[in-house]
Amino acid sequence: MIVLYTFGPAFGLPDASPFVTKADMLLKLAGLPYRSERGSLRRAPKGKLPYLDDSGRIVADSTLIRWHLEKTYHIDFDEGLSAAERGIAWAVEKLLEDNLYWAIARMRWLEGDNFAKGPAQFFRAVPAPLRGLVEALVRRKVRQALWAQGLGRHAPEELLALAAKGMASVADILGDKPYLMGDRPCGADATLFAFAMGALAPAFESPIRAAAASHANVVAYVERMRRCYYPELAAPAAVPPAPWPAAAA
């Protein structure tokens, strides 16, 4: 039996982490029997989630999980795509994972109101006298990671502009197709759904959310995928128009 170790549902999302949702979606697309269990970062082989236990074989990282499923179970998530289409799908994944992710992380972890509504919940088990200190230490690590990655060196309006451009590019690639690359989901759809739904999460107010919501095809895509693969989750509330920096338009 395959076991996927996760953080668990949060903020109206299948999981607090888009990478976990991506791995979960890949298993759904593969049609393989599996179960999800809440994991521990201390026990995770690379200190992060998700990771997968496939009958004793441990695989960490959502992309390595995909490759494991493809090799072990002879699955081609991109079946039917041309070489160029496979390249586009991979580029979309990396845009979302290596660019948009960090913008969303900054919004959730470093903006006070969003932190209070979201990640602060992760620290409820910490004794009250220590909670503020632990939160400050973890948020400092997030800030350092953002700085090391590079996006954390930008002014907020510059980071928003990059996130908005990325989301607009994905919307243009999606177009009026039901799935990213055509009439059937491919591997990158697991990633697109996870990150687009995360950007649209109603728990967080942000210009990034407004930017994602400005693309009707992305909103419709997320709702279509949610109804198909996560019908137990409530439909997200509509995002009202919101002003945001001109530099990010």
Residue pLDDT tens, the chain, 249 long: 999 999 999 999 999 999 999 999 999 999 999 999 999 999 999 999 999 999 999 999 999 999 999 999 999 999 999 999 999 999 999 999 999 999 999 998 998 888 988 899 889 889 988 999 999 999 999 999 999 999 999 998 999 999 999 999 999 999 999 999 999 999 999 999 999 999 999 889 889 999 999 999 999 999 999 999 999 987 766 554 443 333 332
CATH 3.40.30.10 residue window(s) in the chain? 2-73
- Cα-based distances in Å from 145 to 53, 139, 148, 181: 28, 10, 5, 32
CA 245 to CA 249: how far, in whole Å?
7
What distances in angstroms separate CA 43 from CA 38, 49, 60, one per listed residue? 11, 10, 11
The architecture CATH gives domain 2-73: 3-Layer(aba) Sandwich (3.40)
**What pLDDT is attached to residue 248?**
34
Q: Architecture of domain 83-248 in CATH?
A: Up-down Bundle (1.20)
Q: How far apart are CA 105 and CA 115, in angstroms?
A: 10
